[in-house]
Amino acid sequence: MYYESSFEAGDLVRWYENYHDLMAAKNSGLGIIVTTRNHQFNNEVTHVNYGVYRHKHADIVYFDSINLEKLNRRNEC
């Protein structure tokens, strides 16, 4: 099974950190995807994490895709 990446380096995203019960967000902000980690088992990609540069904290944190929302840019003339 091949896992297709839904985010690319350079994508602007809103990230969410949840409490341990996964029901409520404790923190969120804007960031940019800077790297991707593919986790493999038996030579198949089974899970992907995305390294996000968080503007709010000036750090890089890895998130699952469920905790990220891609923000679309509008082309303005």
Give 6's pLDDT tier (boundaries 50, 70, 90).
Answer: confident
pLDDT tens for residues 13-49? 999 988 776 667 788 999 999 999 888 778 776 788 9
Would you place residue 1 in the very low, low, confident or very high pLDDT band (cuts 50, 70, 90)? very low
Question: What are the structure tokens assigned to 43, written together?
Answer: 């030579």
Output the pLDDT for position 49.
92
Mean per-residue pLDDT of the chain: 82
Domain limits, the chain: 12-70
Which pLDDT value is given to residue 36? 92
Closest alpha carbon to 70 in 8, 2, 4 = 8
Please list the residues that pair with 27 across neighbouring strands.
17
Q: What is the pTM of this model?
A: 0.75
Give bridge partners of residue 47 from the DSSP assignment: 39
